[in-house]
Chain A
């Protein structure tokens, strides 16, 4: 029977991890996401499913524990918030370079620097465009509800193993801290050694057996020609992901003259803004990217043929708006509205911004 609970977004990440058969969580405390590790430590999943939970000495150590665990074909994850995610970037680029599956949760807070502990969406560039050094991409999922915090954990591991690529859940302080009703996932057992062999046996470091050569997990190739070939392999993988894994939600878009583009908590605010606009007789729709990489570029290109303009609403100085502009390619105006520093806009702020920046422009 389905299990419904009233839970915080962060708590649900922990619960979903246990239920989807996660093998290991490695983390370091930071606001506003500490409930993830706290929930795990309270739940003691090592007694229940055998899942390892370890508080590392730093975010750097935590992501490198993920690197080590992922190298063994295990379902492993870490979570942090913006300053901690910056520290993890070295490990993340190694993981991407070694083509390892894992889950990284970022419950974003305002920056730069130590910034604020209040919610923000100012890590979009870092999450979507690379973050660490070298040419790579994470698959980035943006939950807009506590339910999606639950659902995206299992989805992240599915995508991570399907493409041997790190996946990031790009959440924020609103989604992490707010409580909503959530339908929890059914329990799935952790993979057995035999299942791991079947899924990742061709590359994972599970111990060299006589029937195979030994495995090396590395992101190093001192031969430039070979490294370039590998870079092209990654590019081809990202192209496949871009073709097959775009996810988005359209709300009231069919007859819309103006489109709000917003992800995560901003999209929740924009849903209300759409209602307010419709009450005023303004035909507004909402496009909510669910995957930020790959980005729903094609649907925006399609919409650009028939709408009068786009307003990207994000709690940043204007990051995702660049991807909207790239998709629209100058066909219609694209504007940005956002609050910064941990301030959250109201639906009325969004309506006002839409009127000022797009509708009432001479």
Chain B
């Protein structure tokens, strides 16, 4: 049997989403961003909403997310993605608008923008990647960094007396009447990936109903920032991140 005999339509079990471009991810091997990008791409393709999707990228590792998904993109200033998304959604109410943000972007510098966008119940999807560290700038302490977790700006571990507590911003967001669906997911196992995709699909489908903001936190790894191998990073996340940021739906 030759290769040409195998490459047949009926043998196809998996293919890359057409929404994903051919550009090589700049993300580190083991990083969660790539998986989440793929899931968003698949949801957009399955819902056939490429023409109706406007995406907002943050400042952080995923600043370059616009290189990977073939939809119209706006690249926001640090923390401001929900403000851009607000305007886009208000001015073009038929669009599917999503903002993609990391923990530094969303839970530190952009707290005002995310809280108020969610409180107004903007008809947008927020994808919140929480890996407890500033990846792009080289591993500094984030608002979601765990107590005792070492980073380059908390080299002896996060001291809550000095730097405050890990901010469970998704729990706060769930309290806001403006949000319809608030969930916390992960992408460390095939089962988790499937669940996360279902959550993203639900969030995008909800946008069509215009009942409020859709908020998905993805508890993620930053193996480069955490100084762990991809496999060890996943194990560390399960052991240390999940007790503080437990997976599951918070609302909706």
Interface of A toward B, CB cutoff 8 Å: 23-24, 26, 52, 54, 56-58, 60-62, 64-69, 71-72, 74, 76, 90-91, 94, 98, 205-210, 214-220
Contacts and interface: CB of A to CB of B under 8 A. Distances in A.
A104 to B, nearest CB: 15
B84 A207 contact: no
B88 interface: yes
A217 B90 contact: no
Nearest to A222: B64
Contacts of B86: 54, 61, 65, 68
B91 interface: yes
Contacts of A69: 87-88, 90-91
Interface of B: 50-54, 56, 63, 66, 70-77, 80, 83-88, 90-92, 95, 112-113, 115-116
Nearest to A90: B77
A214 B72 contact: yes
A207 B80 contact: no
A76 B77 CA distance: 18
Contacts of B80: 60-61, 64, 67, 91
Contact of B84 (A58, A64, A206, A216): A64
Given A52-B91, A61-B112, A72-B92, A208 B70 contact: yes
B116 A68 contact: no
A64 B73 contact: no
Contacts of B56: 68
Nearest to B116: A57
B72 A57 contact: no
A65 to B, nearest CB: 4
Contacts of A58: 112
Contacts of B87: 24, 26, 52, 54, 64-69, 72, 76
A26 B115 CA distance: 17
Contacts of A57: 112-113, 115-116
Contact of A206 (B70, B92, B113, B116): B92
B79 to A, nearest CB: 9
Nearest to A95: B77
A71 B53 contact: no
A58 B115 CA distance: 12
B112 A205 contact: no
Given A54-B86, A71-B84, A208-B51, A216 B112 contact: no
A168 to B, nearest CB: 18
B77 A64 contact: yes
29 contacts: A52-B91, A56-B83, A57-B116, A58-B112, A60-B83, A60-B112, A61-B83, A64-B83, A67-B74, A67-B77, A67-B80, A67-B83, A67-B84, A68-B85, A68-B86, A69-B88, A69-B91, A74-B91, A91-B80, A205-B73, A206-B92, A207-B52, A207-B54, A207-B72, A207-B92, A214-B71, A215-B73, A217-B75, A220-B63
Nearest to B84: A68
Contacts of A71: 74, 84, 88
